[in-house]
Amino acid sequence: ASAYERQFTGVTVDNWKEQNADLLGGLQAQSSSSITIQVFVLLAVTLGIASVLAVSVVQKSRQIGILKAMGTPSGSASRIFLFQGAILGFGGALLGSGIGFGITQMFLWGTAQATGTPLFPLEFDLAYSAVIVVIATIASIVSALLPARKSAKLNPIDVIRG
């Protein structure tokens, strides 16, 4: 601002950041709180997938025991749950991205009804969505590790008897 003020005589130049320091601080706080919310949502989803898969291990323990008794290696039994976690994460992320895209398009269409121009210029970033799909898939696979380990440790004789 001071460089422009020296360059142009008779012109008053104001620094936007100095004039709107409170607004800038609020925007930075909103950005950091948004990241915090995203981390906790990812944690909640990861725990949810882990609990679903843990219940699945308990429900399918008899079938896993039979497979192991027939000679299926423990690694193969645990990979079933890793694949299930990957499919849940990938499918859920794709579905969520599709719903997000649809809601964005409906919002743009709805705000453009009167003037033909959307009220807010929103764009759906495909690269950002791809990153989210990858993160969700990795988080789902990580959440499936504990149930997969539990299925690998099942003793076929105890499971079939019980």
135-149 burial code (b ≥16 CB/10 A, e <16) = ebbebbbebbeebbe
pLDDT (tens digit, 9 = 90+) per residue, 57-101?
Answer: 778 888 888 888 888 888 887 888 888 888 988 998 999 999 989
- Total Cβ atoms within 10 A of residue 24: 13
**Percent share of the chain, pLDDT over 90:** 9
Q: How far is CA 83 from the centre of its chain?
A: 18
Residue 25 carries which side chain, given as an amino acid letter?
G
**pLDDT tens digits along 112-133:** 877 778 877 788 888 988 998 9
pTM of the model: 0.68
